Amino acid sequence: MSHDRNTEGVPAGAVPRAERVFDALPPARGRGFARTWWGQAWLKALEDTALDGQQLKSGRKHAREGAVGAVSVRPGRITAVVRDRDRTPYRSDVLVQELSEAAWDRLLEVVADRSGHIAALLDRDMPPQLVEDAAAAGVDLLPGIGDLEPECACEAWDHCPHTAALCYQLARLLDEDPFVLLLMRGRGERELLDELQMRSVARAARRAPAEEAAAGPDPLSVPAGIPAREAFAVPGPAALPAPPPAVATPGRPPALVGGAEPAPGLDVAALEFLAADAAVRAQRHLAEALSPGHATAPVTPGAPDALTAWQDTVRLMAAGPPEEVAGRLAAGCGRDRAELAQAVRAWGHGGPAALAVLEEEWTPDTEALARARARLSAAWEEGERAPRLRMAGNRWTVVGSDTQVRLGRDGRWWPYRKERSRWWPAGPSADDPAAALAGLESSD
């Protein structure tokens, strides 16, 4: 249960900042900390950016035991009183990096350009696709390294068990309401929805006369650049053209219906779908190229241009093509429908890495196996009953259960569940095998 803080006592002329207070949650014994996509995504971001895994482990145990009191969430800060094992209370705060005005402007433009995002947000729902679309516009909604700064009355210099417990508790709050994430990043729900509605109305008003205009500059045109042959022929450093400006959202491909009949064998629906997919990829490539440090960043494996035909088929199916296009992809991939459905589900949980875990069975070498066994032995808290696991290659199956965790080559653990005599991907990866299995338990 949550409630909004009133604004009595705010000085005249000041703009009150939104704040929500969530009542303390009961202990979470026997269940994972997150059951929804948003809660699991928060935990993954938290664990991926943590500097001290031991403090996170202690904080998870504190949160599981119900040590976190009521949680106050406001722009840039979350606060709660967290009790230590001896019941000593400590005020714990975690400062969250707020988005800049420019970042909020880009994010709202992304939402305003997607009718599906607008409808979902106005219905008080946050689609997971919003994270990916925001990232393509250079806006990171989930926390990265340096975005979370702990402050605790125990005077620890970094994350302590109390602030870590608060971060874990937040995953459960995101299960209840993903808008909490946007509030931490700087905008309350009402403020956000009001501004979104204003932008939507303004866009509609601008669109009408623009559609009637018969002339004007081509929005897709770009200044002529310098031919590479001429640029490299100049002695010394050549003057290169300025990079293109960032594009907030992918371009809209033209509709290919109407006019003359298409040539025999030309699938218009498939061509439109591929054009829209190409626009999305081009916009994301441009956003990555313009991001700080891109020139020295290592090449990320699994980019669409480097995918196999099978991987690209799965990627396209996961994008939700029209029914007739999906039928053609399914018929031409050489796999049965169940295999394709498994692959699409895996892709949705983690792209090429998740697909590789689904399809590859490998045996860890001595060093990797030792690391995996050490991770498994340390995964369960003292006093918790660890499940019996049967190992086969990189797969550990819970004895007497239809659940399993698989070890990826990157050292992360992926949850699986047996359905209809097949093992199906059941969620995103986790650094901790216990957390991966807990996610399976919480979704039962």
pLDDT band for position 7 (cuts 50, 70, 90): very low
What residues does 406 pair with on adjacent strands?
395, 414
pLDDT at 358: 95
Phi/psi at 2 (5° precision): -135, 160
CA-closest candidate to residue 304, choices 326, 278, 324:
278
Higher pLDDT, 364 or 213: 364
pLDDT at 423: 93
pLDDT at 217: 53
pLDDT at 219 over 60: no
pLDDT at 162: 92
pLDDT at 66 over 70: yes
pLDDT at 2: 60
Would you tell me how many other CB atoms lie within 10 Å of the CB of residue 201? 10
pLDDT band for position 236 (cuts 50, 70, 90): low
Cα 278 to Cα 416: distance, rounded to the nearest angstrom: 32
In tens, the pLDDT along 82-107 reads 998 888 999 999 999 899 999 998 88
- Which spans in 177-227 are helix H? 179-184, 189-212
Phi/psi at 395 (5° precision): -120, 130
| Residue 366 DSSP SS3 | helix
> Percentage of the chain with pLDDT > 90?
23
| Residue 81 DSSP SS3 | strand
CA-closest candidate to residue 281, choices 306, 256, 299, 255:
306
Cα 264 to Cα 48: distance, rounded to the nearest angstrom: 51
pLDDT band for position 15 (cuts 50, 70, 90): very low
Q: What is the mean pLDDT of residues 115-134?
A: 76
pLDDT at 314: 93
pLDDT at 259 over 50: yes
- Which range (120-129, 159-168, 336-345, 358-367) has the least confidence? 120-129
pLDDT at 9: 39
Contact call for residues 166 and 174 (beta carbons, < 8 A): no
Contacts of 381 (CB under 8 A, 6+ apart): 57, 60, 61, 64
- H/E segment holding residue 409: none
Q: What is the mean pLDDT of residues 382-402?
A: 87
pLDDT at 298 over 70: no
pLDDT at 232 over 90: no
Maximum mean pLDDT: which of 23-32, 205-214, 227-236, 259-268:
23-32
pLDDT at 417 over 80: yes
pLDDT at 210: 54
pLDDT band for position 233 (cuts 50, 70, 90): low
Cα 432 to Cα 168: distance, rounded to the nearest angstrom: 14
Cα 334 to Cα 313: distance, rounded to the nearest angstrom: 11
pLDDT at 146 over 90: no
